[in-house]
Amino acid sequence: MAPAECGYKHVVSAIAGAALAEAVESVDFGVLTVAFNRRVLRPRPWTITQANWAAEAARSVPAGPILELCAGAGHIGLLAGVLSGRRLVQVDSDPSACRFAQLNAEQAGVRDQVDVRCGDIGSAVMSSERFPLIIADPPYIPSADIGRFPDDPPAAIDGGEDGVDMIRACVDVASGHLSENGACLLQVRGPSQIAALESLVESRALVVRDAQVVDDERAIALLERVADN
């Protein structure tokens, strides 16, 4: 058996021991093989763009670990961490997602470089912690629209009435924990939410510096701290 197959079987065995082995799947995500099941949002290939952008940003931001909010199975932050060689702190409120994030880090051979914290993003990061690079992957579908995506876990995509509840929460965390000269890469639902985000960050000493729009439903915004005059 090839080493990769042995490693994946080890992951499946560990998940089974944690009573999460229902229909475990795996997908290639950049240089990684990512495990997940129906309890966790399926990794989207387009989000490799976010991981690669984060790895590129890591070359110019100050030293320090990456923080990933709403990490899910952990694949986006994990790929950015592997490509950049930086330590990684991942936060998600769902225990199943946290379990997979831990196991995927182990599968990638970097478990000792990854700190997975299971809890609310507003309380899982200590007030004194600062991060030069933050990745945020919040749910952004308005509650009334989540029925369009029956295969996705509702909690992983439901962004509240206007779709930006968790985006607001991620911006709040970024405002309080982004290092000077740092960067935050935030997923949003296309250009319409980028426009909403620009208004949202004004009162939080952040600015939308750049964006990559995939289509009307998917985009990534680059936030930076407003420079002191």
Sorted by where each begins, the domain ranges of the chain are: 39-225
Per-residue confidence (pLDDT) for residue 139, from 0 to 100: 97
Tell me the whole-structure pTM to 2 decimals.
0.90
String of b and e for 171-189 (b: at least 16 CB within 10 Å)?
bebbbebbbeebbbbbbbb
Q: What integer pLDDT is reported at residue 107 of this predicted model? A: 96
Q: State how beta strands 206-215 and 218-225 pair.
A: antiparallel
**Residue 226: predicted pLDDT:** 85
* CA separation for the pair 88, 40 (Å, rounded): 20
Write down the pLDDT at residue 206.
96
Write b or e for each residue in 70-102: b if 16 or more Cβ atoms lie within 10 A of its Cβ, otherwise e.
bbbbbbbbbbbbbbbebebbbbbbbebbbbbbb
Mean pLDDT, consecutive 10-residue segments, the chain of 229 residues? 41 48 88 96 96 98 98 98 98 96 97 97 95 98 96 96 96 96 97 92 93 95 84
Virtual torsion, Cα 182, 79, 96, 131, nearest 10 deg: -20
Q: CATH for 39-225?
A: 3.40.50.150
Which one-letter amino acid corresponds to residue 131?
F
Cβ–Cβ under 8 Å, residues 206 and 174: yes
pLDDT, residue 106, reads 97
